[in-house]
Amino acid sequence: MKKNSIKYSRMNGEVMREISRIIAYDIKDPRIPPMTSVVSVDVTADLKYAKVYVSVLGGEEERKRTAEGLRSASSHIRSCLAKNLNMRNTPELTFVMDDSIEYGVSMSRKIAQINHTEMEDADAGEAAPEDEE
C-alpha cells in the first residue's frame, strides 16, 4: 500500500478517530488529562505498527505523566481498537508526544502581544500633539 493512497489516508484517519474516542471515553487513568489530543497516526503498510502523535496542553511534568499513562494503557487501547475496527492486523501502538498544538498556541499569543503593542504605539502617536512648524 502506497503512503499517499486514498486507502492509506482513510485507514490512518479511522485509526486516529477510534484512538481519540478510546482515550476520551474508555480510559479512566488519572495520569491522562482530558486535554489530550491525538494529532495524527502513522500506520505502517503491513498494519503491524502505528505511531500515535499525541499533544497535551500543560507543562513538562504533565507530558511525562501522560506518556507513562498511555504506555501502560496501550494494550487496552489496542484491544479496544481490535474490537471496533475490522482490520487484518491490529497494530502495536507507539505513542509520541507532539508539541505542535502548544507551539501554535504560544505563537498566537506572541502575535497577539505584538499586535497589541503596535496598536498602543499607534494610539499614543495619534494622541500626542505634533508640531508642524
Note the pLDDT of residue 79.
Answer: 94
pLDDT at 23 over 60: yes
Report the pLDDT averaged over residues 24-50. Answer: 90
Is the separation of the CB atoms in 42 and 86 below 8 Å?
no
Note the pLDDT of residue 87.
Answer: 83
CA 109 to CA 63: how far, in whole Å? 21
Apex 71 CA angle, 66 and 72, nearest 5: 100
Q: Which three cell numbers stand for residue 124?
A: 499614543
Residue 12 burial (10 A CB sphere; 0-12, 13-18, 19+): middle
Q: What is the pLDDT of residues 49-101, one digit of tens each?
A: 999 999 888 788 988 999 999 999 999 999 999 999 988 889 999 999 988 77
pTM: 0.74
pLDDT at 14 over 60: yes
Q: Where are the domains of the chain?
A: 6-106
Note the pLDDT of residue 88.
Answer: 83
- Spatial strand order of the sheet with 36-43 comes to 36-43, 49-56, 92-97
Q: Topology of domain 6-106, per CATH? A: GMP Synthetase; Chain A, domain 3 (3.30.300)
